[in-house]
């Protein structure tokens, strides 16, 4: 166990940034999101949840794939270079780290997504234990411990110090580069902090949310339920839930003319949109009810059916906080508990 005075964090960030790209929670106005570190950035480690999840570091909202050139009738294709430099994402919470594990199931399965795989290979995650989980949090329902982020390095904020615990080879290698800034520490403060976090998490409103009946075997029962017909109606199809979610992985592929070649890129997409997966014959989900049902069936039924019981929700509570119609995953689960009366 190591520690560093919080008054010396700027030196820590600068040291990491000397050899690696560093991404940290940065405050911009009233919002906090992960962004590239700079000396001018207002780093905010006190924010429990960033507006967007830090999955952006591994699965960017938009990224170029390759460029096509036509020179005198001869077409050439230049693929984008893969990530080849180590980078650090500092301050990820346990729920967001679990979100990356969900994405691993998608992008590292055959056929492996080379862009994502390169980022995972070079990415180093410094997880920050939740200081005070909020009322919208329910990560413990999915077996996630907010007091123990399963990262390369687990960090704990305790008054004047940040405690540092390397957990993997990547974490140990990063720690070695920072040995002149870190000092040895016992784990007493960390153990006390874990108890505090756990005590808060156990008392949250959704701590006892039941997932009974939601699993890979519930396909027909849940899919054919009449509850969806009433539940979806307030949905605006705005996509806020999907764009703030740390596990949503849908994307679209598009081309644009740069004036000097055609770039092909991919960007996040949403299953809540009417043109999602639009094909020549149209869309295979022709109503908003079907699209609404798809989102939650995927999280709670389809994904666990294909991934050894792992849910595609991590209980971060962003959809609870952000949905303008309060049609979040908690409401869906509770609606089925009550036979449609959420």
* 241-287: pLDDT as tens digits: 999 999 999 999 999 998 888 999 999 998 888 777 766 666 667 78
C-alpha closest to that of 122 among 246, 39, 273, 21 = 21
In this prediction, residue 342 carries a pLDDT of: 44
In this prediction, residue 246 carries a pLDDT of: 97
Give the pLDDT confidence of 49-59 residue by residue, as tens digits: 999 999 999 99
Phi and psi for 106 in degrees, rounded to 5?
Answer: -85, -55
**Which token pair is 170?**
């990547």
Indicate the helix (H) or strand (E) that contains 103: helix 94-107
DSSP class of 63: E
In this prediction, residue 279 carries a pLDDT of: 63
In this prediction, residue 276 carries a pLDDT of: 77
Long-range contacts of 288-293 (CB under 8 A, 24+ apart): 288/232, 288/235, 288/237, 289/228, 289/229, 289/232, 291/237, 292/228, 292/231, 292/232, 292/235, 292/327, 293/223, 293/228, 293/232
In this prediction, residue 73 carries a pLDDT of: 80
In this prediction, residue 282 carries a pLDDT of: 62
Residue 208 binned pLDDT confidence (cut-offs 50, 70, 90): very high
In this prediction, residue 159 carries a pLDDT of: 85
Give the whole-angstrom CA distance, residue 272 versus residue 216. Answer: 22
Asked if the model's pLDDT at residue 341 lies above 60, the reply is no
What does the domain layout of the chain look like in residue ranges?
A: 2-202, 219-337
Residue 144 binned pLDDT confidence (cut-offs 50, 70, 90): very high
If you search the block for the tokens 């911009």, which residue do you land on?
A: 28
In this prediction, residue 281 carries a pLDDT of: 63
DSSP class of 56: G
Give the pLDDT confidence of 222-247 residue by residue, as tens digits: 999 999 999 999 999 999 999 999 99
Give the pLDDT confidence of 102-125 residue by residue, as tens digits: 999 999 999 999 999 999 999 999
In this prediction, residue 339 carries a pLDDT of: 64
Query: What value, to the nearest 5°, has the Cα angle with vertex 119 and ends 86 and 260?
Result: 105
């Amino acid at each position: 166990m190591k520690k560093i005075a919080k008054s010396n964090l700027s030196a820590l960030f600068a040291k990491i940034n000397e050899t690696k790209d560093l991404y940290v929670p940065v405050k911009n106005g009233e919002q906090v999101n992960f962004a590239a570190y700079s000396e001018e950035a207002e780093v905010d480690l006190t924010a429990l949840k960033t507006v967007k999840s830090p999955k952006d570091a591994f699965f960017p909202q938009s990224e170029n794939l390759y460029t096509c050139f036509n020179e005198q009738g001869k077409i050439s294709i230049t693929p984008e270079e893969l990530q080849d430099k180590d980078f650090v994402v500092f301050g990820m919470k346990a729920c967001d780290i679990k979100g990356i594990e969900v994405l691993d199931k998608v992008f590292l399965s055959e056929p492996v997504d080379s862009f994502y795989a390169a980022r995972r290979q070079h990415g180093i995650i410094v997880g920050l234990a939740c200081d005070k989980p909020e009322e919208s949090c329910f990560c413990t329902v999915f077996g996630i411990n907010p007091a123990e982020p399963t990262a390369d390095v687990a960090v704990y904020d305790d008054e004047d110090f940040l405690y540092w615990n390397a957990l993997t080879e990547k974490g140990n290698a990063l720690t070695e580069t920072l040995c002149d800034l870190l000092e040895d520490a016992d784990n007493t403060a960390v153990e006390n902090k874990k108890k505090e976090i756990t005590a808060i998490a156990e008392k949250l409103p959704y701590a006892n949310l039941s997932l009974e009946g939601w699993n890979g075997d519930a396909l027909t029962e849940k899919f054919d339920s009449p509850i969806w017909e009433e539940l979806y109606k307030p949905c605006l199809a705005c996509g806020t839930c999907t764009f703030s979610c740390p596990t949503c992985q849908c994307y679209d592929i598009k081309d644009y003319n740069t004036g000097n070649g055609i770039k092909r890129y991919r960007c996040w997409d949403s299953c809540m949109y009417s043109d999602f997966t639009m094909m020549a014959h149209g869309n295979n989900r022709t109503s908003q009810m079907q699209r609404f049902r798809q989102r939650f069936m995927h999280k709670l039924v389809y994904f666990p059916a294909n991934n050894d019981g792992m849910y595609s929700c991590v209980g971060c509570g962003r959809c609870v906080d952000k949905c303008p119609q309060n049609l979040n995953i908690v409401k869906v689960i509770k609606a089925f508990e009550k036979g449609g009366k959420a």
